[in-house]
Amino acid sequence: MGFNGLISSRLAAVRRIGANNDASVRLSERIRVAQELHDTLLQGFFSVSMQLHDAVNDLPADSAATPRFTHLVQMFDTVLEQGRLAVQGLRSPNEHLQSLGQAFAGVPTELGLPGAVGFRVVVEGRERVLSASPRDEVYRIGREAIVNAYRHSQAKHIETEIEYRPTELRISVRDNGRGIDPRELKWGRSGHWGLQGMRERAERIGARLRVLSRVALGTEVELCVPGRIAFEHS
């Protein structure tokens, strides 16, 4: 191996070490956040849930309020379970994540999103194994885009497209909803961190995120991850 080849090899090794260190730091931070959420929010919600159950059980059997409060308790328990699963995911990121298509297809059911909205996932190209480092970020960006479309777009149809290209992984979440106000598209919605969070995640893994939207015509969130980052290489 010549001098230039030796230098290139050493630089590649340094980059791999840096990437591994970054992944380790992110994992440690996820675990720290998960512990904080478990010890504060989840424990507090669990205590409130127990008291709500007791309060409903103390209502007279013929009380007109019983069905309503029973429904509210069930909703609270569902939210609590979703929070528990989210914290579990933070503590133990799934190293054997199912295919992106299956993962995204399960988002509406997992979060109890409205069934009246037409939702489908389309996969183009030969599926490839994702590298461990960007895998969780890619999923969370796509998941956030799907959830935002359900919650804010008032769309009747939402489609997620996953395209395995020779040189990149492309994910697109599009809807036929009301679109995003140009000011919110640029600066984000006050008190909401969805768009900014997706942009920051994309930047961390060296990906490109574009949000295209026209009022009353719908929105498309597109994530493109270079193949050298997205895919495992044998």
Over residues 190-233, the pLDDT tens digits come to 555 688 889 999 999 999 999 999 988 999 999 999 999 999 88
Domain boundary (91, 124, 158) is at: 91
**Domains: count for the chain:** 2
Residues 104 and 212 in one domain: yes
pTM equals 0.66
pLDDT in tens, 125-164: 999 999 988 998 999 899 999 989 998 899 999 999 999 9
CA angle centred on 122, ends 117 and 127, rounded to 5°: 145
SS3 of 29, please?
helix
Q: Do residues 175 and 113 touch, judged by C-beta distance below 8 A?
A: no
Mean pLDDT of the chain, nearest integer: 81
| CA–CA gap between residue 175 and residue 160 (Å, rounded) | 9
Q: Do residues 177 and 218 touch, judged by C-beta distance below 8 A?
A: yes
C-alpha 42 chain-centroid distance: 20
Q: What's the domain range around 55?
A: 3-91
Cα–Cα distance list, 124 to 121, 164, 171 (Å): 10, 6, 10
